Amino acid sequence: MSPNTKRDARAVAATAAVAAGVLLLVSCSGSGTASSSRTTGPATTSGSTPTGSVATSSTTTSASGTTTSNGTVTASARPTRRAVPLTSVATFSKGVTVDVVRQRSVTVTGRGVGELSGPAVAFTLRLRNGTTRAFPIGNSVVACSYGANRTPCSDSSASPAKAWRGTLGAGRSADGTYVFLVPKSNRDSIQLQVSYDPTQPVVILRTAR
């Protein structure tokens, strides 16, 4: 083989080696990009909220018949009956009703911790059981509010307050007296919410204006 032919062969071999190196570099670079893409994808989305997830809330509701800070009886998954006048009969369900049989102004002196003293209104409510079965009424709740903004009334355990207790027999009725401090200027806008059982509707009685 001539010297020129040897030089040409070496040049071709060198060119081929360089080309192979370039291809290998491109291949590695492409592989690294794909790997980086696969690694980055989940890391980018792992901190976000998954689609369709349900946000939780710090607000809870209860069907236990407690009174909230805005003077309403809490209820979960149960209806509230349409409000009726304070002088009417409100119906919880067939055969079970409540109405105000007496309303009078009183002056109370706070007895328990946090109880206020002053002019108040005492409501005597009559709960009637027209069904054939007795039911407990010791967990009954009566809440009061007044005014356009439904400001909650402060309740009082002072006399003549006497809440429902025990069990109400079939065909029987029971009276309970609930006392609330209500400003005299707002006694034309009183609303009572009554619940005798957390599985039953809440009824509303309010003064007619």
The domain limits of the chain are 1-48, 84-206
Residue 69: pLDDT above 50? no
Fold of 84-206: Immunoglobulin-like (2.60.40)
Least confident of 27-31, 105-109, 116-120, 195-199: 27-31
Answer whether 178's CB lies under 8 Å from 140's CB: no
The per-residue pLDDT for 73 is 54
- φ/ψ bin of 158: left (φ > 0), alpha (ψ from -120 to 50), beta (otherwise): beta
Distances 90 to 3, 65, 95, 97 between C-alpha atoms, Å: 118, 17, 11, 6
The per-residue pLDDT for 26 is 38
Mean pLDDT of 63-69: 42
Strands, E assignment, the chain: 84-85, 89-93, 96-108, 118-129, 135-136, 141-146, 151-152, 154-156, 167-168, 173-181, 190-195, 203-206
The per-residue pLDDT for 52 is 37
The per-residue pLDDT for 113 is 83
How do residues 8-40 score in pLDDT, each as one tens digit?
444 444 444 444 443 444 344 444 444 433 444
**Model-wide pTM > 0.85:** no
